[in-house]
Amino acid sequence: MNPRESAAFIASASKDVKLNPVGIKKVASEILQAIASQEFEPNNMMIHSYPLPVAEDASSIEWLFVADALNFSFWALEENAHYSVELHGKQYTGYMALCAAITKAQEAGIPITCPKYYATVSKEEVNAIFMSSTGEPIPLPEQRWSILQECGKILNEKFDGQFYNCVKQAGSSAQKLLDLIVSNFPSFRDEGVFEGKKVSFYKRAQILVADIWSLFKGKGLGNFGDINTITMFADYRVPQALVHFGAMEYSEKLYELLAANHTFSNGDQEEMEIRGCSIHAVELIQEELKSHSADTDKETLRINSAIIDYFLWEYRRRHAQSLAKVPYHKVRCIYY
């Protein structure tokens, strides 16, 4: 099943995670208010600029591929000890710290976004490039080194040394690009078995498609007419925001595990329920927003699951202190 079908199935059978229609409406209302106040602009899909790329060209596509190949597992058991990187006097954390590390390497003349380089990059080089500003290694350094080498070799062998060629091969289809990524790059195959059925989430593969769409503002190389087939990106931070708004609710048993910093394994029942229900919640939020389209600007009609995900992820970052009281699920894996 694709991520949308998987999510609907998981939500229908979920035992420890439930969706609340009142909370769904609350998120939709929050988005509409943010649009009305211009706090959130659906057209400005790349919420951040530096240290992310801003040039709408092939070099940025290579940059995004490396970033999303490594876009996983930045959390720490202590809330104030997350992976961080300093760049030009500014401290970045989590995914943005990864972005800072990539940009920092580029500015130092290291060709970190060149497949010919990272196909044979050494473990020591990877450790040095992505070392945190506290001197601690980035989480799962061995896996990141292995993924970089694997992805580089595949690009060199199948796509003439450029992910850009993979994007071109997709022919302006988000779904075709998603299929190309998942079928050619093993580390992007974010799948599992739930209640005896094979399900998929494809967090990193989908966010890579959406990042390209976002950077190019839905035009040129990012002109994906079927972008609405992409779901939200099931990670550990967006569910935190959904619980904050009451769109998702955890059983007492699950809440106690989360509050105790329990570390789940990728594929655990509870983990899959959280991720699947998160995807389905965003689908329901999107439907709720459509029902309000007559009362709002026409731009609201363009809001899709990727944009809702961006809103929730950014909301969590802006309100990190107040949302810290909402426990999130912790999994050490390469998928998110």
Per-residue model confidence as pLDDT tens digits over 256-266: 999 999 999 99
Q: What is the set of active-site residues?
A: 235
Residue 323 has pLDDT above 70, yes or no: yes
- Per the DSSP assignment, residues forming a β-bridge with 84 are 93
* Encoded tokens for 318: 């802006």
| Average pLDDT value for residue range 80-94 | 92
Residue 51 has pLDDT above 70, yes or no: yes
Q: Virtual CA dihedral for 61, 64, 66, 69, nearest 10 degrees?
A: -120
For tokens 């106690």, the residue is 256
Three-state DSSP class for residue 147: helix
Residue 11 has pLDDT above 90, yes or no: yes
* Angle between helix 269-291 and helix 3-13 axes, rounded to 10 deg: 110
Q: Range with the lowest mean pLDDT among 21-35, 118-132, 289-303, 306-320? A: 289-303
| Average pLDDT value for residue range 55-71 | 96
Higher pLDDT: 284 or 50? It is: 284
Q: Which of 241, 242, 170, 245 minimizes the C-alpha distance to 212?
A: 170
Q: Which of 150, 86, 156 minimizes the C-alpha distance to 121?
A: 150
**All structural domains of the chain with their residue ranges:** 3-331
Three-state DSSP class for residue 86: strand
The pLDDT assigned to 80 comes to 77
The pLDDT assigned to 300 comes to 47
Report, in this order, helix, strand and coil percent for the chain, each rounded to 5.
55, 10, 35
The pLDDT assigned to 110 comes to 98
* Other residues' Cβ atoms within 10 Å of the Cβ of residue 146: 15
